Chain A
């Protein structure tokens, strides 16, 4: 029994590394604060609501964490989200088999990410500029194609189940986000690919000199980020059974924020997948808490901005402190 517990503890430690501990603490502090502020917050029903609202951002924040780990950034995730939702919507309304439509939409997300990656690595243009451009281009295409109109009535039961279905009160999107989390924990920490991603962000020149294929690795990372954005898009489109051309407009910043709260360093070399999950949960929880307290939604942005500063500030402080301790023990 004792051995088993130890094994479990070791396993847990591997998943959320020591650095994530501070984050979990902040998470619970905020949780307790919100519970004290409103008696409608810490109800079982509301907790399930938070869990069921979180997966869309979690899935994308995981992809973003990988991109940031290479030292890059992807501003086009929101636009990829919008266009893949519209693609799925168009196809389903046009009578295409639901699963085929989903596969095509996912492939589209993957391919847009791939294009981002190829332009960045082959033409050596800065990631910021490339993804900003693809974002703008996609938004333009969407405006031309949809004239700003949403696609309603995506009421195929198979499709809707993906967004609205539940198993024991836990929504399908949340379950899918957990599957994605587990897969990417393995990809990041247990495969050579994950090590390459982080190595590139840590020191690109050193990575090149040990034979890591930088162009290939980076391109795959952007493609995965696009794929995950498409997945998130399909789940949310199914949830509201409407494909919206402006669906992802606010998402890029929120996703980057979730990854950064989770401990991603914008200079690269760190990948905290579990942190991204907690970061996403935190963002969702704060929004929900403010909603429950009937705070005007315009104030949400202000609060979230402050939370990002506090979380990142805490992280910087914590790292500095650890560094001090290590240096002196040398």
Chain B
């Protein structure tokens, strides 16, 4: 097979801290190479070197047998290598075509856009390159997350590239959309373009990649063919120890009901929602994107309004549909989009931790020392890795941010935790830590309700799973009695059942 990209002896350090040590990488034409490693292992730095965004490093990059002088490489690499970023950068107000051709429009000699030609090309790229059918005149706002992801890839595909790098492309996708993406990636591969696929989901890596490369603390742990490695071995190389149980779950006695949802209805979102959550229980809500599961959680927390129904917390029913009321009743909510809805990016660790408690206790003055002490306590007890309390929250890893979000609510003395995608975008090790913390919560008699699109996660940590489809609860399942495959079936079947 033809080698298309070769990295030899790449070293890179930032201000004396070495991030990459003597890393080699080979990429052959028309293959999919998985790249895995914990947060901070050096994956993004390595990718930045490949696309030419970082130009000062030692070692050699050879693309298509041409050795590149690092100082000249940037431009050339950008022409040859496409990057699909983790955060979608789709312009929601623009049409599909405009999004695909942004900054690379097809123009006449007089700089006038060739609209029709671009439309045809856009349709062609989407259909032939990715195997998806989207009307090029639609506005990006109307598209699902998966379709937006396709736009992002189409943008890269519209100029012929030799290599496409995808940084966690599946992080925000639901199961069915993920399947579509995998098909698209296969198509790209068939056309002879190589793909570097970065993901925290090891199952995905094993499914679609031909080979996998593992980074740990800036060192390459080697490249392996898919058939030569399994999940356990990958984890061992990634985090340096064996994990016996990804979904640690202790037996906890389930007590009385603490949250009761009665006949909740919100027009065009959900109806007839009845369930209760008990002390010591982890309840999972599963369903396809847009089935209303997230909306139910947000309504319980008072962040969104519902039309009818009753929410009862320990025999007190809530009336105001306000966040402060839910907080007063001991309910906490951790949103899926940590960056846009969870953290205060310009503020430090302790600010981010104490803010909810301040609102709940309604103090007039800041209780400086007392609160700092509380912050230190939680940093220790949840083993949150931060340089100090004054470190900006945007400078720490996703897993630790999630722990801070958790500490934020633990401080307020919460009994009911509502999680939306509790482990989105955090690495294997940190995931397990979050599950352990959820275990601690229920052990101390709290109730936890989780909305997740990560099915193994739901099966691993929940005591009960409710399947929601088109805004209604269709099934109640015991995770011990079903397999992942069956769960997928229930989720998709329930949709057909309604139809």
Contacts and interface: CB of A to CB of B under 8 A. Distances in A.
Contact of A202 (B40, B344, B363): B344
A227 to B, nearest CB: 19
B141 interface: no
A146 to B, nearest CB: 41
Contacts of A209: 301, 303, 323, 333, 335, 341-342
A192 B364 contact: yes
A210 B343 contact: no
Contacts of A210: 323, 327, 355-356, 359, 408
Nearest to B325: A211
A213 B323 CA distance: 9
Contacts of A158: none
Contacts of B341: 203, 205-206, 209
Contacts of B323: 208-211
Interface in A207-224: 207-213
Interface string A108-151: 00000000000000000000000000000000000000000000
Interface string B320-357: 00011001000001010000111111110001000110
B345 A203 contact: yes
A199 B408 CA distance: 14
Interface residues of B, number: 36
Interface residues of A, number: 30
Interface of A: 189-196, 198-199, 201-203, 205-213, 269-270, 325-330
B17 A203 contact: no
A316 to B, nearest CB: 15
Nearest to B409: A210
B14 A328 contact: yes
Contact of A327 (B356, B395, B408): B395
A191 B303 contact: no
12 contacts: A192-B363, A195-B351, A203-B340, A203-B341, A206-B340, A209-B303, A210-B355, A212-B359, A269-B347, A326-B395, A329-B387, A330-B396
Given A202-B344, A202-B345, A269-B347, 9 more contacts: A192-B362, A192-B364, A192-B365, A192-B366, A195-B358, A199-B351, A203-B340, A207-B344, A211-B360
DSSP class of A's interface residues: helix, strand, loop or mixed? helix
A206 B17 contact: no
A265 to B, nearest CB: 8
- Name which of B340, B359, B365 has the most chain A CB atoms within 10 A of its CB: B359
Given A195-B355, A210-B359, A328-B17, A205 B340 contact: yes
A271 to B, nearest CB: 10
Contacts of A201: 346
Contacts of B368: 190
B15 interface: yes
Given A327-B14, A328-B17, A199 B395 contact: no
B392 interface: yes
Contacts of A326: 392, 395
A205 B345 CA distance: 12
A210 B342 CA distance: 9
B324 A206 contact: no
Contacts of A325: 15
Contacts of A208: 303, 323
A275 B405 CA distance: 31
